[in-house]
Amino acid sequence: MRKLLNKLFLKFGYLITKAPDLLIEKSVDPTGMLPTSLTEKVTIKKTTDTPNNELYGIFATNTNVHKWHHYFDIYTHHFELYRSEPIKMLEIGVFRGGSLRMWKQYFHPKSVIVGIDIDKKCQ
């Protein structure tokens, strides 16, 4: 198991360190290990307008949620399909937990939303 994990970390480490060059070359995953849904290119619009979607509306009414505004169109694009049925979601790096409440409001009421963080104050 240890050898397998080391091999995966090495391959993904390569992908992370080479990402800027690979994106320019339009070859996001040279290893072929990532599903195509994770390598799909999403255009980020340069705009100062606030997003106009339901997820941003939930964000705007919650406190302690730290998210960049341009993420909301991307989140909506990728997560909209998963709203009608319960899901299990793990968020890594939750800061004060505000986004966990946001996801709980956004996804199906029976979804399980879990967050982890290295900061022990986030319990």
Same domain for 115 and 55: yes
Number of compact structural domains in the chain: 2
pLDDT band at 24 (very low <50, low <70, confident <90, very high): very low
Domain match, 77 and 115 both: yes
pLDDT value of position 67: 66
Q: Domain residues for 30? A: 1-41
Do 34 and 54 fall within a single domain?
A: no
Q: What is the mean pLDDT of the chain?
A: 72
Angstrom distance (rounded) from CA 86 to CA 112: 7
Q: Are residues 61 and 119 in the same domain?
A: yes
Mean pLDDT is lowest, of 10-14, 29-33, 42-46, 66-70, for: 10-14
Is the model more confident about 81 or about 48?
81
Residue 112, φ and ψ in degrees, nearest 5: -105, 115
